[in-house]
């Protein structure tokens, strides 16, 4: 492909050892859960990776691959601990080379960041200190065992080389085994592998040296590091600046500079929309200043302008675009063609990828790209006989349904009762740092315009319209409406719904009380505190519905506290008066003064038209919040499925 873009640095070639890359774009290793339960490569994983290579990325790095069964971090993690894996692993480079890309495999040992079912027994670690995340007992590795694992990494690298991978990446970041040896937070040994900084460096240096000796002088050996653990008792950037030249001396061909461990507050390793784009590049720059090998920068980078600037200003030599590869596998080709407006954006919501993997124990996807992980099923076929499909509602589910149905060749019309599309995305995108969510709506509307799909705004569908129009099929994406509890005073003039507040339909004066501490309530509090309005959130449950264990949840709680807001848990509201809210907490009646009261107490599906369609015998399917109020992920995926199958 000719370089016609305005990003000459991003699309310049680069050589790492024996590997020649056509551009500086990297897809970093991201866990998917797509492998087979016997840790072999599945067709689903191959098709997913090949689709990313097809999109133009110079280097694809596969997800974690265990060098030892005891080092597995999850049940179906890929394996490379014996020669039997070579045959199945070789399918990955074959597929990516066919698409014109290069591929590295990430070699991994979880150390203490695992659980017995995955590791096949008690996890092992530098010291017998349980993981903060798993809180599982672990066994301190003996010197003999340390040497065995060093050899495991070297042997795994040879297998990767034999299988046809262009490079290997040693996972020395995010709190896994190599990182654990480096950190005083997890390594409290008193022998030659612990104690002093020099001794804590030893294991990683020996792993690199053994790997280099095994694969020869030219084969690329990349190491991914955490430049700063950002955790109490952990190491800092200054320590990694001292280590980096030693990594190069030991045989590292490139250094991939990440940040944080999984127990770092706010989840910087996989930062949410609350963290500025490119926030970690200054650390990559600091490492680059002290080494002579290429440095890969990473950290919530989706914008090609940020990538181009980072390379041109020598912050990094290559840029990892992680979750953006999930949202739009073609985005590198689109950048090269200056087709930026057609890039489906990653909003860094984390719902479909890391949180789905780690919290729901399900395979990864993308909230905004329902085709992610489904590539093995093949693209929906074009219909032989197009149907006249009506989509009722232009929220996330409706827009997604219309995109999928029109792609199949149906004649699609969208009916939206508001004067603009977006549905609840209109209010969702209003709190601080969530403006990026609206970019998906804009993208979806552009795609529909290009397909000739008409959105009929200010058009509330009625029974008469269905009877007269006689559509062949209807996708009901009418969303949900807010509900409240039967609290005395709930209908007072100074009581408003959270969505009305976020949309600016009502003026709020402080102090304000928000009833409900789910995401809607917490984000509304964030919105008001950002405007300087004193706010308290009252929640009936004893524990916060939004935990601080997710990245976004952590920042919501942090900003609430920093902004002077209050979160009152276990508060059952009994009455709303003109200037106060009365509630019972721990069997004690309390009253707090508030000028405004805002409800964020849940929603109920809008299904009033579904009975009409049944009576008219019109084929229909209900999707998104109209089916059941849930997240954006479910809305977009259900809409897509309905549009693909109709």
Q: Which residues are catalytic?
A: 176
Q: Using the Cα atoms of residue 315, residue 317, residue 323 and residue 329 in order, give the sign of their dihedral.
A: positive
Strands (E), 553-643: 566-569, 571-576, 580-585, 588-593, 596-599, 603-605, 619-622
- Please state the three-class secondary structure of 388-451 as a single string: EEEEECCCHHHHHHHHHHHHCCCEEEEECCCCCCCCCHHHHCCCCCCCHHHHHHHHHHHHHHHC
- Please state the three-class secondary structure of 234-302 as a single string: CCCHHHHHHHHHHHHHHCCCEEEEECCECCCCCCHHHCCCCCCCCCCHHHHHHHHCCCCCCEEECCCCC
Which residues lie across from 320 on neighbouring strands?
26
Q: 434 Cβ partners below 8 Å, 6+ apart?
A: 273, 347, 428, 523
Q: How many CB atoms lie within 10 A of CB 197?
A: 12
| Residue whose tokens read 């209908």 | 491
The values of phi and psi at residue 199, to 5°, are -70, -35
Q: For the purposes of burial, counting CB atoms within 10 Å of the CB of 12, is it exposed (0-12), middle (13-18) or buried (19 or more)?
A: middle
Report, in angstroms and rounded to the nearest whole number, the Rg of the chain calculated over CA atoms: 27
Distance of CA 218 to the CA centre of its chain: 34
Output DSSP code: residue 637.
H
Degrees, nearest 5: CA angle 407-413-414: 105
């Amino acid at each position: 492909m000719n370089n016609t873009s305005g990003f000459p640095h991003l699309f310049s070639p680069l050589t790492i050892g024996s590997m020649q890359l056509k551009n500086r774009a990297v897809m970093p290793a991201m866990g998917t859960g797509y492998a087979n339960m016997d840790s072999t490569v599945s067709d689903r994983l191959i098709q997913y990776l090949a689709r990313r290579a097809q999109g133009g990325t110079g280097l694809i790095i596969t997800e974690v691959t265990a060098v030892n069964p005891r080092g597995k971090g999850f049940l179906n993690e890929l394996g490379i601990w014996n020669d039997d894996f070579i045959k199945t692993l070789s399918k990955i480079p074959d597929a990516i080379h066919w698409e014109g890309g290069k591929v590295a495999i990430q070699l991994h040992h979880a150390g203490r960041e695992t659980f017995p079912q995955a590791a096949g027994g008690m996890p092992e670690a530098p010291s017998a200190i349980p993981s903060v995340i798993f809180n599982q007992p672990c066994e301190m590795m003996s010197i003999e065992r340390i040497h065995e694992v060093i050899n495991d990494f070297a042997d795994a690298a040879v297998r990767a080389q034999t299988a046809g991978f262009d490079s290997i990446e040693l996972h020395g970041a995010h709190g896994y085994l190599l990182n654990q040896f480096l950190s005083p937070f997890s390594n409290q040994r008193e022998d030659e592998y612990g104690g002093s900084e020099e001794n804590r460096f030893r294991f990683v240096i020996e792993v690199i040296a053994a790997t280099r000796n095994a694969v020869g002088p030219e084969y690329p050996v990349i190491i991914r590091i955490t430049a700063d653990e950002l955790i109490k008792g952990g190491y800092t950037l200054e320590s990694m600046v001292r280590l980096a030249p030693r990594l190069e001396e030991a045989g590292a061909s490139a250094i991939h500079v990440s940040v944080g461990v999984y127990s770092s507050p706010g989840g910087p390793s996989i930062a949410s929309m609350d963290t500025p784009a490119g926030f970690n590049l200054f650390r990559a720059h600091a490492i680059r200043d002290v080494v002579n090998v290429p440095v890969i920068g990473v950290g919530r980078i989706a914008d090609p302008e940020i990538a181009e600037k980072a390379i041109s200003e020598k912050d990094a030599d290559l840029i990892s675009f992680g979750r953006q590869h999930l949202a739009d596998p073609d985005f590198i080709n689109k950048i090269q063609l200056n087709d930026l407006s057609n890039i489906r954006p990653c909003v860094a919501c984390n719902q479909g990828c890391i949180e789905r993997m780690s919290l729901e124990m399900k395979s990864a996807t993308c909230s905004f790209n329902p085709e992610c992980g489904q590539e093995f099923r093949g693209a929906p076929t074009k219909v032989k006989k197009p149907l006249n499909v009506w989509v009722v509602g232009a929220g996330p589910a409706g827009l997604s349904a219309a995109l999928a149905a029109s792609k199949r060749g149906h004649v699609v019309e969208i009916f939206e009762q508001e004067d603009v599309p977006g549905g609840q995305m209109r209010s969702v995108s209003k709190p601080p740092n969530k403006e990026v969510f609206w970019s998906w709506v804009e993208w979806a509307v552009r795609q529909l315009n290009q397909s000739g799909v008409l959105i009929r705004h200010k058009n509330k569908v009625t029974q008469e319209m269905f009877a007269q129009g006689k559509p062949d099929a209807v996708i009901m994406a009418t969303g949900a409406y807010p509900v409240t509890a039967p609290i005395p005073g709930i209908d007072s003039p100074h009581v408003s719904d959270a969505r009305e507040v976020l949309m600016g339909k009502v003026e709020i004066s402080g102090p304000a009380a928000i009833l409900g501490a789910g995401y809607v309530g917490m984000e509304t509090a964030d919105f008001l505190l950002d405007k300087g309005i004193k706010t308290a959130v009252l929640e009936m449950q004893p524990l916060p519905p939004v935990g601080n264990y997710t990245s976004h949840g952590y920042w919501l709680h942090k900003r609430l506290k920093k902004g002077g807001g209050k979160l009152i848990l276990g508060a059952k509201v009994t009455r709303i008066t003109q200037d106060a809210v009365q509630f019972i907490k721990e069997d004690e009646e309390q009253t707090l003064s508030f000028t405004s009261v805002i409800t964020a107490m849940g929603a109920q599906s809008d299904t009033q038209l579904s009975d009409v369609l049944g009576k008219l015998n019109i084929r229909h399917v209900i999707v998104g919040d109209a089916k059941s109020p849930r997240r954006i992920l479910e809305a977009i995926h259900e809409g897509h499925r309905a549009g693909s199958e109709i």
